[in-house]
Amino acid sequence: MEEYRLKGLSCPNCAAGMEQQIQKLEYGESAQIQYNSGKLKVDKRVNLTQVEKILDSDHASIVKDEDAHEHSHNHSNIKMLLGISTTIFLVALLLDAATTITAVPFYLAAIILSGYQTFVKGLRNLTKLTFNIETLMTIALIGAVSIGEWKEGTLVAILFGLNEYLEGLGMEKARRSMESLLQIAPKEALLIRDGKEVIVSINDLQVDDLVLIKSGAKIPSDGIVTEGYSSVNEAAITGEAMPVEKSVGESVFGGSINNEGILRVKITKSYEDSSLAKILHLVEEAQETKTPTELFINRFSRYYTPIIMIISALVMLVPPLFFQGIWTDWFYQGLAVLIVGCPCALILSSPIANISGITRNARNGILVKGSVYLEQLGKIDTLAFDKTGTLTKGFPYVETYKSYHEEKFLAVAAAVEKHSSHPLAKAIMKKVADFPYRELEATNVETVSGQGIVADVVGKRYWVGNEKSVQHVPIPQDVQVSIDQMKREGLTLVLVADERTILGMFGIADEIREESQTVIHALHHAGIKNTVMLTGDHEKTAEKVANRVGVRSYFGGLLPEDKVAKVKELTSNGKVAMIGDGINDAPALASADLGIAMGKGTDSAIETADIVLMQDHLGKLPEAVSIAKRVNRTIRVNIALALGLKLIALLLTIPGLLTLWIAILSDMGATILVTLISLTILWERKEKAKPTIKKEIEPQHS
């Protein structure tokens, strides 16, 4: 498939019509015109000359490299024509008022300048019996001129041209906001080949290539630092403003910016397989997905215009035929009703808002894979969280410890655990490092499966592990009390003992993320009614984490299939989103109405979920929910405005007060309003944090 950028796309319906014509060409079956992004995708075997002829019939064209700059001037040309036609119209009004000279040539010139494109399209559509906005406007203009309403006909042509200009301007603004996001991709890389620096296109980079990243340069693709130290701005990927320190052995994302030092990076993925390329591809595709609301509006529009034409005919015929109405008066009213039939504002009520919402989230490092998922996010009332790696950091830390022999406890624990790579051993070594202790060496280190480690330290035998590992020693009452207390708190125990007594114990837990409690409260404030934690850990651990972070209910001891069942149960009572790491929680993510993965750019997360948080925390989630809800509210307001203004205009036909200029103003006013309201979503507002109220946790059991 070849991809081309288009200019001159005037409306979604026109784009759909051209797409159907291109699909009738040889090899054109798979052709797509993406109105929202202004692009054409077509089989490379299609006759491009015929494609350009079809595009030209609607005054659209393919943007060539040599005239790409004209695209930015397209709206300026339209604005100039509108300015000239308005000036001529004002001259005609003065002639009408001050002289006996006929102003008809001036009115005609103004109509031609501002409405000739509409007129040509409308006549062509009439010959094909295709009824859309251009057809309606052409009939209305011919009708107005035929009954001598030159002044109003000209005003309608100018206002409709202005309406089309503003409509295109609004859509172009939304497209530019998305395009500016897509411009973050680097174009070239500084490849180190045979000891020399060579500038190459990023598309020519291969896995294991070595590239040099100078200060201020973009990293061309995902890779690993092999030499150097610097801070890197990853905002393009994760939405995080704070730079991240990078040194040898650490991974970097393509599209991130090297702040100050010089880095040598070994490429681990070709650009097309990089996190950035996948993100940009998915964001671009997301513009073209249709939500249920958009699909309904499109279906409604197909019936709306014919219904308006029938109403127009009735307005023209019924009063004169049955109520002695004056033919010219009601013919004029019928023409005004035709203009009210323009569905532009209604069709625009959704796509600009959705593009703005997707773009705004993408800026924050939140990848929404389509408008349909954005709409779903705005309707979610229940959020289900996996615990490990989502609400918690996913690695253990020592929360508390008890020492019954200060001199030996930490020294022996450190001597034994430094020989282990187990996560619990690493947590103990990190804790022990906070205290002064005598460094000892362990020998004859032996791992006992399901229990822990046995080793000799300074000629004596020691045991480090769970309760089973210390069954050979009597446990005093005060020690047993401490053991029971830690177990009630949901902590994992690691005890240290010699041949005769317990030296001490560590209480280890999965560390809760600092932001989890704030995020949960913010989600409740954003309108999420129910937050649920699902975990495979035992009930005490689940209860402890739930109380700490503030989720409203929790379920512990769940196997992966239990999580799926629980998610399905929750979906029977409302719209449910499941949040996990995108790997282990894939079945539960797929079972929910909406799957949200915490990715930090991992391939599996991007491929698994409907929405991906490119950070390794939940901090941006409440804002994503708020943006989605705002998009849904905006679309509802837009639809109400689009239909409401038209209804008011139609009601004016009852007393015979509807005029051509009122009709066109009702449509133009609605178009301007829905465009401006939709574009406000792009404005980033800092909302003040509201005080949070601690909620009671409802213990639940699976």
Per-residue CA distances from 2 to 5, 43, 46 (Å): 10, 6, 10
Q: Say if residues 419 and 523 touch (Cβ distance below 8 Å).
A: no
Q: Is 593 a catalytic residue?
A: no
CA distance 165 to 159: 10
| Nearest C-alpha neighbor of 186 from the set 84, 276, 111, 263 | 276
Gyration radius of the chain over CA positions? 34
- The tokens describing 583, both together, are 């790997």
The full length of the chain comes to 702
Per-residue CA distances from 238 to 12, 171, 486, 604, 618 (Å): 33, 27, 38, 16, 12
| Nearest C-alpha neighbor of 254 from the set 305, 196, 209 | 209
* φ/ψ (deg, to 5) at 336: -65, -40
- The tokens describing 190, both together, are 């500084």
- Strand 553-555 relative to strand 530-534, pairing: parallel
| Nearest C-alpha neighbor of 235 from the set 243, 246, 224 | 243
| Nearest C-alpha neighbor of 526 from the set 417, 453, 414, 627 | 627
Helix, strand and coil in the chain, % to nearest 5: 50, 20, 30
DSSP type of residue 389:
I
Which one of the listed residues 58, 209, 222, 386 is annotated catalytic?
386
The DSSP code sequence of 605-655 is: HHHH-SEEE-SSSSTTHHHHHHHHHHHHHHHHHHHHHHHHHHHHHHHTTTT
Per-residue CA distances from 614 to 190, 225, 246, 247, 392 (Å): 27, 20, 18, 21, 17
Q: Say if residues 452 and 470 touch (Cβ distance below 8 Å).
A: no
By annotation, the residues acting in catalysis are 386
